[in-house]
């Protein structure tokens, strides 16, 4: 089987971490007799410099014609002063929109080997957690009607949270299907005690539940969820929520893993084609120094194999290789605990070699 992957290295550490992921994909491809064609494309700050736009038409067309998109990160201080439509991040928003990617999947897993990096109390960290957050990505308040007007007390501003049944149903289906493949537990997070849009959200989720008898669904209010995530994260498996609640809760969940350099993400739509990227940015402070942690990007590639190409065994092989490397005490600088015995600090390329070695055994 051949897969055509649109590859956007982006800016800062983007080229370094993407190089790692491509090496891993090539090795896994050889092992499973699958061939990956990598089509390297320009987007973000480097595209602004060379072509005058964050997302050249040729890049968008190539993404639309690909089997999936793998992205490093875009942006950096050099482009911070540009107006909104000309900023590097505009490339990401446009790709998501043009590819119809309405679901953002962010796993937040506390690896047993890294529980010392978890900022929660030791007894909570010791239990570990493995959460998959499914966030609606193209609706809700971030896309609703907004504006300013004159009111009796001066200027007023408003943003509207609006969801259609169809929008809720399609994100719900992704969450139910994921829950079916995991432990069968799904928590839908809303604010149904106050918001009408949340009451519709809840109705649609409950209606969908009839189609998925093997999934146990429960509701949780968003304020309680924010608290429960730090009190008892182990109670969560799959979470489904709206764009704004998901934005906030997924950042909270990533922080309790204690390691931004380890967390992958996927954005999906109605087709198998998705966009896969680490959750972190372009880390300009360490760019070009072979210091970046490539694991979030390597795990994003594993998500691509599982979710877009249905290569479950290949995806698991990558994840197991990463766990083994960490179990051996090998770390990049961002996840190294100073003074911890039996750990060794590696560069980005050394970490890549360590993961490759585990894949090739
Ligand atoms: P950042 O995630 O780039 O960096 C935050 C901190 O984490 C830095 O100290 C950085 O060195 C460290 N870090 C991040 N990834 C790391 C990795 N893989 N290995 C080791 N350390 C890592 O966030 P920021 O500094 O707020 O943003 C920098 C630029 O990235 C900005 O221009 C921002 O707009 C952009 N950004 C892009 C994306 C994206 O492309 N999806 C996401 C977030 C931020």
CATH of the domain at 332: 3.40.718.10
Same domain, 56 and 21: yes
Q: Per-residue pLDDT tens for 295-308?
A: 999 999 999 999 99
| 232, 292: one domain | no
Q: Are residues 27 and 124 in the same domain?
A: no
Q: What is the pLDDT of residue 93?
A: 87
pLDDT above 80 for 249: yes
90/127 same-domain check: no
**Which residue in the list 159, 223, 285, 357 is annotated as catalytic?**
223
Our mutation pick for probing the ligand 1 site, out of 10, 281, 291, 300, counting the most ligand atoms within 8 A of Cβ, is 281
Tell me the residue range of the domain where 182 lies: 119-256
Confidence of residue 84 (pLDDT cuts 50, 70, 90): confident
Q: What is the pLDDT of residue 229?
A: 97
Is 311 inside a domain boundary?
Answer: yes
Residue 223 annotated among the catalytic residues of the structure: yes
> What is the pTM (predicted TM-score) of this model?
0.92
285 has a pLDDT exceeding 90: yes
Q: Is the pLDDT of residue 338 over 80?
A: no
Residues 94 and 154 in one domain: no
- Res 342: pLDDT: 80
- Which residues pair with residue 266 across a beta bridge? 105, 276
Confidence of residue 1 (pLDDT cuts 50, 70, 90): confident
DSSP string, 35-76: EEEEEEE--SHHHHHHHSSSS-HHHHHHHHTSSEEEEEE---
CB 332 within 8 A of CB 117: no
Q: Assess if residue 276 is contained within a domain.
A: no
pLDDT of amino acid 49: 97
DSSP single-letter state for residue 137: -
Average pLDDT, whole number, for the chain? 95
Mean pLDDT of 272-296: 97
Domain count, the chain: 2
pLDDT of 83 higher than 80:
yes
Q: What is the C-alpha to C-alpha distance for residues 129 and 234, in angstroms, rounded to an integer?
A: 5
Instruction: For residues 36 and 74, state if they share a domain.
Output: yes
**280 Cα: distance to centroid of ligand 1 (angstroms):** 5
How many angstroms separate the alpha carbon of residue 96 from the centre of ligand 1? 19
């Amino acid at each position: 089987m051949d897969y055509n992957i649109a590859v956007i290295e982006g800016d800062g550490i983007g080229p370094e971490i993407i190089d790692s992921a491509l090496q891993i994909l090539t090795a896994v491809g050889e092992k499973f007799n699958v061939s990956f064609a990598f089509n390297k494309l320009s987007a973000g700050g480097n595209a602004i410099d060379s072509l005058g736009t964050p997302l050249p038409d040729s890049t968008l067309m190539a993404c639309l014609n690909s089997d999936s998109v793998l992205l490093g990160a875009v942006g950096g201080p050099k482009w911070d002063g540009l107006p909104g439509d000309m900023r590097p991040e505009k490339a990401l928003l446009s790709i998501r929109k043009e590819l119809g990617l309405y679901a953002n999947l962010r796993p937040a897993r506390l690896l047993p080997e890294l529980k010392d990096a978890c900022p929660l109390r030791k007894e909570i960290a010791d239990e570990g957690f493995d959460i998959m957050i499914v966030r609606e990505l193209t609706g809700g308040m971030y896309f609703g009607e907004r504006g300013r007007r004159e009111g009796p007390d001066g200027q007023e501003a408003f943003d509207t949270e609006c969801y259609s049944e169809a929008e809720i149903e399609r994100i719900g289906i992704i969450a139910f299907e994921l829950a079916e493949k995991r432990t069968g537990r799904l928590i839908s997070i809303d604010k149904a005690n106050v918001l009408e849009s949340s009451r519709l959200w809840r109705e649609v989720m409950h209606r969908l539940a009839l189609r998925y008898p093997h999934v146990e669904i429960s509701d949780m209010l968003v304020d309680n969820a924010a608290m429960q995530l730090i009190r008892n994260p182990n109670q969560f498996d799959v979470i489904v929520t709206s764009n704004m609640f998901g934005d906030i809760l997924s950042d909270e969940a990533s922080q309790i893993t204690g390691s931004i350099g380890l967390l992958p993400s996927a954005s999906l739509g109605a087709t198998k084609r998705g966009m896969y990227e680490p959750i972190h940015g372009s880390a300009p402070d360490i760019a070009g120094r072979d210091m970046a942690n490539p694991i979030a990007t390597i795990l994003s590639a594993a998500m691509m194999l599982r979710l877009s190409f249905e290569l479950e065994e290949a995806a698991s092989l990558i994840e197991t290789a990463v766990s083994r490397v960490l179990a051996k005490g090998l770390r990049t600088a961002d996840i190294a605990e100073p003074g911890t015995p039996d750990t060794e600090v590696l560069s980005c390329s050394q970490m890549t070699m360590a993961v490759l070695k585990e894949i090739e055994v």
